[in-house]
Chains A and B, each alone.
Chain A
Amino acid sequence: MITVDTVSKRFGEYTALDAVSLEVPEGSLTALLGPSGSGKSTLLRIIGGLELPDAGVIRIDGEDVTKVPPQRRGIGFVFQHYAAFRHMTVRDNVAFGLTVRKQPKARIEARTSELLGIVGLAGYAERYPNQLSGGQRQRMALARALAVEPRVLLLDEPFGALDAKVRAELREWLRRLHEEVEVTTLLVTHDQEEAMSIADRIAVMDNARIEQVGGPRELYDRPANPFVAGFLGAVSQLGDRLVRPHDILIETDALDGGLEAQVQRVVHLGFEVRVELMLTDGAEVSAQLTRQTVDELELAHGDIVWLHAAPTTVLPDAGPDAAATVDPGPEVAGERAA
C-alpha cells in the first residue's frame, strides 16, 4: 500500500504538487491520470524517491520512506523511454537488481529465466536492447523491475513511446500480468482510454492537485467537476448542463420541448454516428447516436430537431467558465509530462 500524505513540491516559481494526498490500496492497479504539467509524473517520482518533496510524507506499507533513498524503498520503476542498460544483454538487464543484491548465482539464473518467460522474451535472453522492438524493450524493463520483487511497481507513461497497436496489446498484457503478479501498481498516463481500460482505480490530477479518485465507471458517470467530466470522455453543453454525446436524445418534433437545433453534419463512423448540431444561440453540440437511430429519424443536413438530455446522465452543471474546461482533449502521445 502506498500512502501519500499532503505532499507539496515546487520547482522555482512553478508548483508541481500542492498538498496532495492519495492512497493506493494493496494489490490495486491505480492510474494517475491528468494532462501534461498536472504534476502526476512528479508525484510518481517522489513516491519512487527520484525526487524529494518539499513537504509531506510518503509511506509504503505503513513505513515512512520520505527520506529513504530509492535503493532501499522496495520499488520497481519503469520509464517511458525504457531506460535500458544498452551495453548489457536482455538477461543481464533483468538480472541486474539481483546481481547488485549479491544473490546466489543459481537463484539469479532461475529467477531471470522465469521472468523472461513471463514477459515472453525467453528466446531473446542473449540479445541487446537495441535489437528489440519498443514493446519488447518495455517488457524487458518490466521484467527487470519485477525481478527484485518490489513492494510497489511504479510506471511512468510506460506505453507513451509505442505506436497505437502495440500500446493496446501491452495494456491488455499488463492487466493480465497484474492479475498474475498482484503487486501494488501505480501507473501514470495522460490517456484516459488507457486509464479506463487498465486500472481498477483512477486518480485524476489537474494543476498540482488531485481532483477525484474512484473506479473508472464512477468517474465517468459521476465526475466531481467539469474538468473530470471532460477529461474522462467527450462532453457537450446543452444550455447550462453538461451531457455525454451519447446521452443526447434527438426528437424531430417539438412535442416535449427541448432545445431547438439545426443539423450541420452527419458523420458515419461505422456503428456509431456523430451528428453535429447548432443551437439557436449559435453554440455547437456534438451528439453520438447509433446507426439505427439515425436511420429511423432520417436525419439530414439542415433538419431542425429538438435536443434532450437522457435522464441517466448525472454530470455536474457547467460552471461559469465551463466552456474553457469541457474540452481538454487528449494530449499528443509521447509528450513528456512534468
Chain B
Amino acid sequence: MSLVTHLPGAGVRKRGRRPTAVGGVGPLGLGVAMLWLSLIVLLPLAAVTTRAFDNGLIGFWDAINAPAARSALILTTVISVIVALINVVAGTLIAWVLVRDEFPGKRFFNALIDLPFALPTIVASIVLLTLYGPRSPINLELNATRPALIIALLFVTLPFVVRSVQPVLIEVDREAEQAAASLGASNRTIFRRIVLPALGPALLGGAGLAFARAIGEFGSIVLIGGGIPYETEVASQYILKQIEVDRPVNAAAVSVALLAISFIVLLILRTAAARSRRHETGS
C-alpha cells in the first residue's frame, strides 16, 4: 500500500468520487430520479403527443376544431376556471375557520375535508346523483345540467385549496396582524393587505391544482353530467367517445389540447406564485 492512500484528498481521487455536500444529491440519485420521471411521465406524454399528430398538423387542428370537440374543450376550461375561483373563496374561508376558530367537532370537520380525495370518484358521482338526480330528496333536480357539473367538480376539488392554504395560515405572523390593528387598520384591511398577500402563493398553488384536477375529471361527472354533446359533455367524455367509435387519433389530439391547457395554466400560476413569494425571501 502506498503512502498516497493515507492522504484523505488522494484517497478520494483514487476512487474517482466527488464529495457530496450534506443534504446534497449524488450523481446516482439524480440519474435514477430522471430515469423514473422519464419512464413514468415523459414517455407516455411523448407517445400520446406523437399519436395526436399522426395526421399531421392540419389533422390535429381539424380534430380539436370539430364542433363537438371544440364545445367540450371550451366547456371544460370555462367550468374548471369557475370551479377554481369558487374554491379559492370557499377553501380560504374553510381553512380560516379551521385554523382560527375553536368549535365542537372541529377535528371531525377537518377530517371531512379529505373525504372527496379518498372517495372513488364514481362513488362521488352516485352520491351526487342520489341528492340531485331524479327523485331528489331536497327536490333539486340538476341531473345532466351544467350546474351539476360545477357542483360535482367543486366536490372533488375542495381539498386542494383548503389543504394548500391551511399550513400557510397556521404560520402567518399574528403579531403583524396585531401591529396593523394598532396602526388603525380594520379587520377587512388587515385581511386584504396583510393576510392575503401572505396567502397568495398558497392560493395560486391550490387554485392550480383544483383547475388541473377539474379539467381532467371523469368519474365524478360521468353519471350526474349526462354527457349531452354541446351541453354537458366535457373533454374527458368526448375523448372516451372517440375511442369507442375507433378514432384514436382524434382522442389523442383532444388529450394533447387538454394537456397543453393544463400545462399553460399551471405555468402561469407558478410564475405568479414565485413572483409574489420573491419579497419574502429577500432576493
The interface of chain A, by Cβ under 8 A from chain B, is 48-50, 69-73, 75-77, 79, 81, 83-87, 96-97, 100-101, 128-131, 141, 144-145, 147-148
| Interface residue stretch chosen among B10-18, B45-53, B70-78, B176-184 | B176-184
Tell me, yes or no, whether B271 is within 8 Å of chain A by CB.
no
Contact count A vs B, C-beta below 8 Å = 81
Tell me which of B176, B197, B276 has the highest count of chain A C-beta atoms within 10 A of its own C-beta.
Answer: B176
A128→B279 CA distance, assembly (Å): 6
Beta-carbon contact of A83 and B279 below 8 Å = no
A70→B280 CA distance, assembly (Å): 27
Beta-carbon contact of B282 and A50 below 8 Å = no
Beta-carbon contact of A144 and B178 below 8 Å = no
Beta-carbon contact of A101 and B281 below 8 Å = no
Which residue of chain B is the closest to A86 with respect to CB atoms? B280
The interface of chain B, by Cβ under 8 A from chain A, is 173, 175-176, 178-186, 189, 193-194, 197-198, 276, 279-282
Beta-carbon contact of B279 and A71 below 8 Å = no
Listed by A's residue number, 19 A-B pairs whose Cβ atoms lie within 8 Å are A48-B182, A50-B182, A70-B178, A71-B181, A71-B182, A77-B182, A79-B175, A79-B178, A83-B179, A84-B176, A85-B193, A87-B279, A128-B279, A128-B282, A130-B279, A130-B281, A131-B282, A141-B179, A147-B183
Which of the residues A49, A128, A144 comes within 8 Å of B179, measured between beta carbons? A144
Give min CB distance, B154 to chain A, whole Å. 30
Taking A130-B280, A130-B282 as contacts, is the C-beta distance between A83 and B176 under 8 angstroms? yes
Which of the residues A75, A81, A96 comes within 8 Å of B185, measured between beta carbons? A96
Give min CB distance, B188 to chain A, whole Å. 10
Beta-carbon contact of B175 and A87 below 8 Å = no
Beta-carbon contact of B184 and A71 below 8 Å = yes
Beta-carbon contact of B184 and A148 below 8 Å = yes
Taking A87-B276, A100-B189, A128-B282 as contacts, is the C-beta distance between A81 and B184 under 8 angstroms? no
A87→B197 CA distance, assembly (Å): 7
Beta-carbon contact of B194 and A85 below 8 Å = yes
Give min CB distance, A8 to chain B, whole Å. 22
A246→B280 CA distance, assembly (Å): 50
Beta-carbon contact of B183 and A83 below 8 Å = no
Which residue of chain A is the closest to B282 with respect to CB atoms? A130
A86→B172 CA distance, assembly (Å): 11
Complex contacts, A79 vs chain B, CB 8 Å: 175, 178-179
A223→B183 CA distance, assembly (Å): 38
A73→B182 CA distance, assembly (Å): 8
A77→B193 CA distance, assembly (Å): 18
Beta-carbon contact of A100 and B183 below 8 Å = yes
Which of the residues B180, B186, B282 comes within 8 Å of A85, measured between beta carbons? B180
Beta-carbon contact of A148 and B175 below 8 Å = no
Nearest 5 A-B pairs (CB), nearest first?
Answer: A130-B282, A97-B183, A83-B175, A83-B179, A77-B182
Which residue of chain B is the closest to A77 with respect to CB atoms? B182
Beta-carbon contact of B181 and A83 below 8 Å = no
